[in-house]
Amino acid sequence: MAQRTPLYIAASPSPQVGKTLIARLAIEFLIESNREPIGYDLDIREPEFARRFPNLVAQVDISDTRGQMALFDRLVAMAARPTVIDLGYAAFDTFFAVMAEIGFVREAQRRGIDPVVLFIGDSSPASPRAYANLQRNLHAVTFVPVHNESVFVMFDTADFPPSRPELGIIRLPRLSAIVRGVVDRPSFSFGAYLNNDRPGGPTEVHSWIENIFAEFRELELRQLMGKLSDSLGAPAFPRPRGARSAR
């Protein structure tokens, strides 16, 4: 089976839930995996993702048709490179409406691109509704819920089911305020920190990063195994750790 190229889309209809954080982790995971990712920041008001990775991430305004077509044309043209999109909440409806309208998913899959929506769930009633609507309208896209414990304590995967049960969820454990301050520094790099040996051995941040990168690796492996199982007509494999309700 040919290797497919991931297109990770960090998304939520709500502000301040960790979209940029998961986008940062995704692009640094790809870098640490010796791939050459690119990214797009669709938050025109606070383009934090683009500011952190000026040589990899471009800021794109999709408030008009020209910007929309420019973005989706780039995604198709750069099909060979893993891509991460930080979808600002203000662009949420527009992005997915255009994706459905132009039939992007079919063209992306034809070109070997695998769109994966990393949906950060939260406690607002609109969040599970938006998630369900997306899954209904874009059923060929892979949806993986993200549980950011810093913003959403009571997380139930019944409200945010992944596209396939074996995909599970990506969990971002809560960090202490002091550690979160370190992670939020403009110059902080997850990969650089992970690879930097520090006196006294691994820290809380080391373990936090390693666990999340491991979840990305497991997600990619399970996607690959799922596609292989589909092609062979084999039964699905067991539900992974984290796939149960965390309520």
pLDDT, position 89: 93
For the purposes of burial, counting CB atoms within 10 Å of the CB of 219, is it exposed (0-12), middle (13-18) or buried (19 or more)?
Answer: buried
pLDDT, position 245: 42
pLDDT, position 107: 95
> In the predicted model, is pLDDT for residue 47 greater than 50?
yes
Domain contains 245: no
> In the predicted model, is pLDDT for residue 246 greater than 50?
no
100: three-class secondary structure by DSSP? helix
> In the predicted model, is pLDDT for residue 201 greater than 70?
no
Domain contains 241: no
Is residue 98 very low, low, confident or very high in pLDDT (cuts 50, 70, 90)?
Answer: very high
Q: Of residues 224 and 147, which shows the higher confidence score?
A: 147
Is residue 226 very low, low, confident or very high in pLDDT (cuts 50, 70, 90)?
Answer: confident
Is residue 154 very low, low, confident or very high in pLDDT (cuts 50, 70, 90)?
Answer: confident
Q: In the predicted model, what is the mean pLDDT of residues 98-108?
A: 96
Domain contains 247: no
**Pairing between β-strand 142-148 and β-strand 170-172 as defined by DSSP bridges:** parallel
The H or E element spanning position 94 is: helix 92-101
Mean pLDDT, the chain, rounded, equals 90
Q: In the predicted model, what is the mean pLDDT of residues 239-244?
A: 48
10 Å Cβ neighbour count for 6? 22
C-alpha angle 113-115-120 in degrees, rounded to nearest 5 = 155
Range of the domain at 72: 5-232
Task: Catalogue the long-range contacts made by 77-81 (C-beta closer than 8 Å, 24 or more residues apart).
Answer: 78/38, 79/5, 79/108, 79/111, 79/112, 79/113, 80/5, 80/112, 81/5, 81/35, 81/36, 81/37, 81/38
Q: What is the DSSP string of 22-72?
A: HHHHHHHHHHHTT---EEEE--SS--HHHHH-TTTEEE---SSHHHHHHHH
User: What is the number of structural domains in the chain?
Assistant: 1
Of 61-75, 122-136, 147-161, the poorest mean pLDDT is in: 147-161
> In the predicted model, is pLDDT for residue 20 greater than 70?
yes
Is residue 233 very low, low, confident or very high in pLDDT (cuts 50, 70, 90)?
Answer: low
pTM: 0.90
Of 22-36, 45-59, 166-180, the poorest mean pLDDT is in: 166-180
Kindly report, residue by residue over 122-134, the tens digit of the pLDDT: 999 999 999 999 9
Domain contains 135: yes
Domain contains 178: yes
Residue 20, C-beta contacts closer than 8 angstroms, at least 6 positions apart: 10, 43, 48, 49, 86
Share above pLDDT 90 across residues of the chain, in percent, rounded to a whole number = 74
The H or E element spanning position 116 is: strand 113-120
Q: What is the CATH number of the domain that holds 39?
A: 3.40.50.300
> In the predicted model, is pLDDT for residue 91 greater than 80?
yes
Domain contains 246: no
